[in-house]
Amino acid sequence: MWTSGRMSNAKNLLGLGVSLYFWGLMDLTTTVLSGSARPLTEGQEDNLSDKLHQRMKRSWVWNQFFVLEEYTGTDPLYVGKLHSDMDRGDGSIKYILSGEGAGIVFTIDDTTGDIHAIQRLDREERSQYTLRAQALDRRTGRPMEPESEFIIKIQDINDNEPKFLDGPYVASVPEMSPVGTSVIQVTATDADDPTYGNSARVVYSILQGQPYFSVDSRTGLIRTALMNMDREAKEYYEVIIQAKDMGGQLGGLAGTTTVNITLSDVNDNPPRFPQKHYQMSVLESAPVSSTVGRVVAKDLDEGINAEMKYSLVDGDGLDVFDINTDPNYQVGIITVRKPLSFESKKSYTLKVEGANPHLEMRFLNLGPFRDTTTVHISVEDVDEPPVFEPSFYFVEVPEDVEIGTTIQIISAKDPDVTNNSIRYSIDRSSDPGRFFYVDITSGALMTARPLDREDISWHNITVLAMELNNPSQVGSVSVTVKVLDVNDNAPEFARFYEAFVCENAKAGQLIQTVSAIDKDDPQEGQHFYYSLAPEAANNPNFTLRDNQDNTAWILTRRSGFRQHEQNTFYLPILISDNGRPVLSSTGTLTVHVCSCDDDGMVMSCNAETYVLPVSLSRGALIAILACIFVLLVLVLLILSMRRQRKQPYIIDEEENIHENIVRYDDEGGGEQDTEAFDIAAMWNPREAQLVVKNRQDMLPEIESLSRYVPQACVMDNNVHNYVLAKLYEADMDLWAPPFDSLQTYMFEGNGSVAESLSSLQSVTTDSDQSYDYLTDWGPRFKKLAEMYGATDSSGALW
């Protein structure tokens, strides 16, 4: 059997599509060349006949079929021809084709054996097909030849352009890079057969991006082609690269890609302040660390190369202001470092420097990478609260100081130029016990209640100072008051002492050790002296020995104590301290006589009890109970009478004088004035000790408080001292009625133009008074002069 492959186009003439199949003995009856057969000679036929008789089996010897891809004709593409030597041309042989693409891509003429391609072939999709051929007897269907396999290879043509599979590309290169610096390598892929011709040989070139960049034609490596490319001038570049096959020759296919190249920043630009002078202002009340203003130095670089560090390098405010760098916005923030004072200094000048902390050595010649600017700061005046001088007070005061005594002068002033008047007060939350009082104008700090070191030894109060014209401006100062100790507490036993003495005790035997305590705290320390009280100085039973270490021993003076004679002794002991003045107290030691064994162990301290009769009559029991009942009734009666006598005065609704309103027909006082209140006590303090009147709205036993006022306080001309003492006595009197009383004082204070305006002296005379002098007191008394009919010289009302 033989096969012939023939192409219908010109390339078949070159033998590209011809395949020859030989018998295993290489003896062919017919030679096939380009589809035509030549008969054998007679000698050849005889030789072949001899060999055919010797052949046992026929077999295929294969070559390959070749066919070009991308056939665009309308007729099926002729691939080749299959022919068997048993085919006599009478159509008795039937050719069949099977395998890859049989009947779909390739068909065979079952009579002639011609193979055609009925679909467009693409080598890039499939480069070869494996098929099987067989010759059958058309009549019987019996195989005339064994089935054999052959290959049809698709011949490549240049039908695919190069493609950049990873494009478009993004790359970066530092600005100012030297010429030839590598940027990125691009790669194009051609789907054509690289082993056949130049269809897959790719050459690279640059279409856009010159003169800044270049590309290696063989490798596709992109490099910088221009020196000193400045990012600040142009940052982004779009480079177009072409890849062309066929070695770049005419007629080759080409593909392109885009490479976006960014110039990355380097520190090649020094910072510069856009302003050489800044003007700022700040309130003098600005707290420490508050912001005054911002300065910024411009840097054309970015990122770490544009980082800035600001500092103060000169000026008269280096110790008053500070500057910090904002890392997010690279600005310099000027802040207050110390408190400001408009009255002390009204303006400051600072020299600010901005510098790059990250430098590149190869660009130092472009520097210096720092710049300076001048900042003028004006301090604006504000209304400040009063300032105390000093800013802290420490006062020591003895605990026996009298009420109303000035212990310290608190001083504050308005720091502003206006220097407003100051009013003082105490923050009551710091003095809940109201032990102190401060004069509203002078700032004199006085005691308002008795001080007791043993109760409160330290007082921490806050004094406030307020501007008279602007009450919202309030300053404060801490005043620490240490209460000094005075010897005002007598020593006393540390506990209750109870001793036991045996009946068989010897003289001089120790029965008890006593000690004492004292609430006072003298600077030289505590030292107590013990002795028997004067009434027990010659006690025949016991004696005392002072150990000079704040303890004392109680010793027996005799022996032979008898429990049935006296089972309890009370020994008074005098305890004195070492204070000035010396204070003493008497403590009692109770001594029980007890029965003891030979070793001195107490057995019993109770005397033999008197045994009462066991049985009592019914009448005796009733008499005892009756006496107890009578005693209980008497006790309840006494308590009821005492409570009634101590009960505060209660006013009925009809006699309610909770608000005592007295009407006057004239400006004089009269009996109602003098009887309703103890006017004399406030009129003349000296006479308050002699004449005491009772108020009508309280029980007769509640006397005027004036009698309890200390003489030193009464004689003092300071009204504050007197009022504070009266207030304290009223607070301490538990039986005083809780009524609000309005009292009139004759004492008007010092400095009044009109002197005293009290009408209390009007009771001394019945003559008419002239009020013409009211016209001399000025406009403030104009209304009063009109009320009392004062006239000017013309007779008209003023």
CA distance 208 to 213: 9
| Token digits of residue 167 | 């494009």
Flag whether pLDDT at 767 surpasses 70.
no
Neighbours of 449 (CB within 10 A): 17
What pLDDT, on the 0 to 100 scale, is given for residue 515? 93
Averaged pLDDT for residues 236-246: 92
What pLDDT, on the 0 to 100 scale, is given for residue 396? 93
Flag whether pLDDT at 714 surpasses 50.
no
468 and 422 Cβ atoms separated by less than 8 Å: yes
Residue with tokens 């177009």: 240
CA distance 619 to 612: 17
**503 or 29, higher pLDDT:** 503
Radius of gyration of the chain from its Cα atoms, rounded to whole angstroms:
66
Flag whether pLDDT at 231 surpasses 80.
yes
Mean predicted lDDT score pLDDT of the chain? 78
Percentage of the chain with pLDDT > 90?
A: 34
Torsion over CA: 734, 736, 742, 746 (sign): negative
DSSP calls for 230-297: -TTT--EEEEEEEEESGGG-TT--EEEEEEEEEEE--S-S--B-S-SEEEEEEETTPPTT-EEEEE--
| Token digits of residue 75 | 């007729």
Dump strand ranges (E) for 399-541: 406-409, 412-413, 422-426, 436-438, 444-447, 458-467, 474-484, 492-493, 498-502, 510-517, 529-532
What pLDDT, on the 0 to 100 scale, is given for residue 255? 92
Flag whether pLDDT at 280 surpasses 50.
yes
Confidence of residue 586 (pLDDT cuts 50, 70, 90): very high
What pLDDT, on the 0 to 100 scale, is given for residue 716? 45
Confidence of residue 288 (pLDDT cuts 50, 70, 90): very high
Measured distance between the N- and C-terminal CA atoms of the chain, rounded to whole angstroms: 161
What pLDDT, on the 0 to 100 scale, is given for residue 66? 80
Q: What is the pLDDT of residues 520-572, one digit of tens each?
A: 888 788 899 999 999 888 888 899 999 999 999 999 998 888 888 888 999 99
Flag whether pLDDT at 9 surpasses 80.
no
Averaged pLDDT for residues 728-746: 62
Amino acid at 87: D
How do strand 370-380 and strand 277-283 relate by DSSP bridges?
parallel
Averaged pLDDT for residues 773-795: 69
What pLDDT, on the 0 to 100 scale, is given for residue 297? 94
What pLDDT, on the 0 to 100 scale, is given for residue 701? 36
pTM of the full predicted structure? 0.44
What pLDDT, on the 0 to 100 scale, is given for residue 609? 46
Flag whether pLDDT at 652 surpasses 50.
no
What pLDDT, on the 0 to 100 scale, is given for residue 32? 31
Flag whether pLDDT at 236 surpasses 90.
yes
Averaged pLDDT for residues 38-55: 44
CA distance 273 to 270: 10
Task: Please tell me which of 279-283, 492-496, 519-523 the model is most confident about, judged by mean pLDDT.
Answer: 279-283
CA distance 81 to 69: 19
What pLDDT, on the 0 to 100 scale, is given for residue 220? 92
CA distance 277 to 439: 52
What pLDDT, on the 0 to 100 scale, is given for residue 796? 43
Averaged pLDDT for residues 439-467: 92
What pLDDT, on the 0 to 100 scale, is given for residue 92? 84
Q: Report the residue count for the chain.
A: 798
What pLDDT, on the 0 to 100 scale, is given for residue 60? 41
What pLDDT, on the 0 to 100 scale, is given for residue 751? 54
CA distance 397 to 485: 9
Percentage of the chain with pLDDT > 70?
A: 76
Neighbours of 776 (CB within 10 A): 11
Q: What is the pLDDT of residues 599-624, one digit of tens each?
A: 778 888 875 544 444 455 677 888 88
Flag whether pLDDT at 715 surpasses 70.
no
Residue with tokens 């002072």: 546
Secondary structure of residue 514 in the 3-state scheme: strand
Q: DSSP alpha helices (H): ranges in 468-512?
A: none
| Token digits of residue 147 | 């089935």
Confidence of residue 429 (pLDDT cuts 50, 70, 90): very high
With CA atoms as reference, report the closest residue to 698 among 730, 665, 724.
Answer: 730
With CA atoms as reference, report the closest residue to 262 among 228, 237, 226.
Answer: 237
Q: Within the chain, what is the greatest distance between any pair of CA atoms? A: 194
Averaged pLDDT for residues 367-372: 90
Flag whether pLDDT at 309 surpasses 70.
yes
Per the DSSP assignment, residues forming a β-bridge with 143 are 136
Lowest mean pLDDT among 58-72, 187-201, 323-337: 58-72
